[in-house]
Structure 1
Amino acid sequence: MIKLLFLLLFGLTAFAEVDATKASITEKPVNKETEEVIITSDTLDFFNQEQKRMAIFEHNVVVIRGKMTITAKKMTAYFNSKNEIHLIIAEGDVVITEEDNKSTSQKVAYSPKEKKIILIRKPVIYMNENKIEARRITIYQESGDIFFDEPIMHTLVKNEQIK
């Protein structure tokens, strides 16, 4: 289930289309198996210099891909020389939802190449009737493996508490 929840935490790759008037980026699908990714925010700063290639979204950041929604106060996407995103950092009340699954954290790092998601600073995952907390939670998208750094708190909750 976590694998589905994070199947594309930020599956952004090359060829992002920037629309500065709307403070958004839309990723065009590379093939039929990928979905369109839309990122919106109140502000967007885009840097395209040799040493500093990044897009900084701030205030009311929303990422939508398929059934997944990610919200944060700030998100920074770092690009390599081929204009591919190689690292994404989301910060400030990060919430990831997909169908009935949810995770929260104060900071999330995502490496598209490694397909690895790291929830940092007060991470919590809600699955079914479980609430799992740890110092850090690492998710490997391809294998679906999840690693919880100590300490771990596991609580059974009712669905009403998750929303």
Structure 2
Amino acid sequence: MVQGGYGEVYKAELKLRSKDDHLNTPNIVAIKRITSRKDTQGIEGFFSELDVVSKCKHPNIVSLIGFCFEDGETLLVYEFATNGSLDECLRNIDTTSNLTWAQRLKMCIDIAQGLKYMHTTMEDKKGMIHRDIKSANILLGKNSEAKIADSGLSKVHYVYK
């Protein structure tokens, strides 16, 4: 479990059933549990993130798998980023010193491509402004590809072309 700004994030194994009712290979997922607060920021962030991320279909944006909003529980289920956050990577001196310039440049390009998609080309012709880009909100996949995460503070805007 990792503590986030609005709750906890858990690593879990999710077994999905296929249409013929057979269990498929288990998937490792990240489950973000929004903590209830006296103000409405947590629930507003949940719905904002759900609205925005459900429309994002890009390899450099963490994919939303599902959600729960029932009996006071607010959960978002995401693909699991195998290599943690860029923040963790940069704090670990062994990992940082092992990153080549090509790997660092690739991460920067991945982030730029994700932001470009968010700002200009989402499927519903609405763009979004993330408003919380930082190394802790950049996750690294199994091949160290960078993926933008945590869109709870995002704002949607219309893209005119």
TM-score range relative to shorter protein? under 0.3
Higher helix share: 2
| More RCO (CA 8 Å, sep 6+) | 2
* Greater share of strand: 1
